[in-house]
Amino acid sequence: MKKAIGTGVVALLLSAQSLAESPFGVTVYPGARADPAVAAQLKKAMRIEGHTYRTADSVEKVAGFYRSQQLKEAPGTSKTGAMFTGKGVSLTIQNPWADMETGKLNNDTLISIVKGK
């Protein structure tokens, strides 16, 4: 009985983790970590609902991942930024990027997944 309950708890946790890694139906770049503070800044400053993630990987590497996810790439992809749309979202990738509240320049890669754009 205890083993069955433990297995159920593990399955529930793994299921919740999977949901957290696919906001608005888009898979989050592997290894990227959520940054809810930046997502809150988006909501406050731009009145948009979104999820934000950070990674040490390059824009080019992250863009390659999203190309393979069948999202439509907007023209103008460069070493510092890319934009994709599809599945009811707009996804941007930036490096470097500036914190909207402090103006601090960050040198990791920011991935923003915004619903309905």
How far is it, in rounded angstroms, from Cα 36 to Cα 15?
20
Break the chain into its structural domains and give their ranges: 2-115
Residue-level pLDDT at 21: 67
Q: How far is CA 108 from CA 3, 24, 87, 99, in A?
A: 42, 23, 26, 12
Q: Which residues pair with 53 in a beta bridge?
A: 34, 111
Q: Cα 35 to the chain's mean position, in Å?
A: 9
For 67-98, how does the pLDDT look when each residue is reduced to its tens digit (9 = 90+)?
Answer: 998 899 999 999 999 999 998 999 999 999 99
The pLDDT confidence band at residue 22, using thresholds 50, 70 and 90, is: confident
